[in-house]
Amino acid sequence: MLLRLEVKNLAAIREAALELAPGLNVLTGETGAGKSLLVDALALLLGERAEGLIGPYGDSLLVTAFFQGEGERVLSRRVGARSTPRIDGEVVSLRELQEEAERWLSLHAQHAALSLLSPKRQREILDALLSPGYLQAYREAYARHQALLQEKEALEEALRAKGEREDLLRFQLREIREARPRPGEDRELEEEARRLRHLETLRERAGRAYALLTEEGLSPWESAVRELRQGGRYDPTLEALAKDLEAALEGAEAVVRELEGYLEGLEADPGRLAQLEERLALLERLKRKYGPTLEEVLAHGERAEAELAALEGGEERLLEVRKDLLKAEEALLQRGTELSQARQGAAKKLARAMEEELAALGLPQARFQVVLTPLPEPGPFGLEEVAFRFAAHPRLPLSPLSAASGGELSRIALSLALLTGAEAPTVVFDEMDTGVGGETAWKLAERLARLGEKRQVLVVTHLPQVAARAHRHLKVVKEEGEVRVEVLEGEGRVRELARLLSGQYTEAALSHARLLLEAP
């Protein structure tokens, strides 16, 4: 539900906060006070345009809504010099903000881009009356059919180019197999080739080092060891140094022997270097064609082998897929027909129930119809499109809901919410009570209260009957050109109901207001 709405620099609102309670919340105030501006703020979160809404208190407006349900979400939208939609503080696209807001919020007002008008939403509302098994079975059959159809098309495309593709794969596989590359082989060969390319330099440097170690010999080190051992008789420190130097001497002797062997092994072999260069060139060609590394070259070979095997069995698999596809089409049509029949039954019941509800809400001659139009081919959600049609009077033709007035749309939305339960956690109604009074006002109030038992509801209203049923009563006040929101309780609420009843604060109006609040 919506916990808090914060608005900054929205038209006449410098800064205002709206805190809602669970259940039914009502928003009242004098005409022109700015009640609908708060609805405009919520509409901005749902992607509505902000033309003319930036106020005089800065170069941008900001709307922030705090929601709580299974989790928590903070949705905000800044419009103006720094237009930025955010979800939990993270910058997102306007489309992403709209989609997230629709999970939490339904808005029914004349000026808002109503989701209720979309065929998708109307289908979802109708399907809310069905057992979920119908749609689930159809969706599973549709997914199975689509998967087989895609596999069939892929196999047919592959088989059309089978000859050329097989030749290419066989060539690639033969080229890799004949080269027989090993993982890391190029690095090993490059290291050996580098030694052979710089053979003279290596021989020169190693020879000089060998000469330096052997020409003068290691006798000074040996003499130093003897001297230290003699001194070590009287001081253990010199004995320890003698051992360290002796170990170093042994290491130096080992280096001399290794250098000697290294020099003997530095034989010039022009033939070997040529072999290495040729092998490295072959491996580089493979890497340029099939991957940046020899590991990727080998992986490409494995993929080519697998694809070749699949192509060789492609015709047999295509026959199997075509048979499976025929069965899947039959299952899809069967599930689709079952879904269509369930929708037809639900559509008739919904139409009858809607006309009864709308009559109770002050539209006694209204007609409501659910039209199911067959699709040219099965779609992801069934064999037909769903569309609601409405006429407020028998002389008017049944038309899409977009032709209805704001008050009519709000009453349609309320009736649908009560009959189907297909609404977001927070439902907002504006302009619902246009032309409503008397017994209809009581029925409207009763239905809004009933919806408030299942959803959080926010209603902008002029009806005292509706305001009296609220769990929280909020009043929009405009003073010296600025707008603020008050939570009404006790006598303040009584006075506001009296104003709604008669426009005055007479004792009769105040007494009537108290009776309204005490009514069950």
Task: List the domain boundaries for the chain.
Answer: 2-133+337-518, 163-312
Residue closest to 386 by CA, chosen among 129, 125, 115, 137: 125
Sign of CA dihedral 80, 30, 479, 21: negative
Predicted pLDDT of residue 51 = 85
Amino acid at 197: R
Tabulate helix, strand, coil % of the chain (nearest 5).
60, 20, 20
How many helices, marked H, and strands, marked E, lie in the chain?
17, 15
Do the Cβ atoms of 340 and 382 come closer than 8 Å? yes
Per DSSP bridges, beta strands 382-391 and 367-379 are antiparallel
259-281 b/e (C-beta count within 10 Å ≥ 16 → b): beeeeeeeeeeeeebeebeebbe
Amino acid at 8: K
Count CB atoms within 10 A of the CB of residue 299: 13
Average pLDDT, whole number, for the chain? 87
Predicted pLDDT of residue 367 = 96
Do the Cβ atoms of 246 and 253 come closer than 8 Å? no
Instruction: Please give the CATH number for the structural domain made up of 2-133+337-518.
Output: 3.40.50.300
Do the Cβ atoms of 10 and 2 come closer than 8 Å? no
CA distance 358 to 239: 110
* CA-atom Rg of the chain in angstroms: 42
Do the Cβ atoms of 389 and 369 come closer than 8 Å? yes
- pLDDT below 70 — which residues of the chain? 110-114, 198-200, 202-203, 205-213, 215-227, 232, 234, 259, 262-270
What does pTM read for this prediction?
0.67
Do the Cβ atoms of 450 and 457 come closer than 8 Å? no
Count CB atoms within 10 A of the CB of residue 439: 11
Q: How many residues does the chain have?
A: 520
CA distance 76 to 251: 73
Residue closest to 106 by CA, chosen among 97, 96, 120, 116: 116
Predicted pLDDT of residue 372 = 97
Predicted pLDDT of residue 322 = 94
CA distance 505 to 509: 6
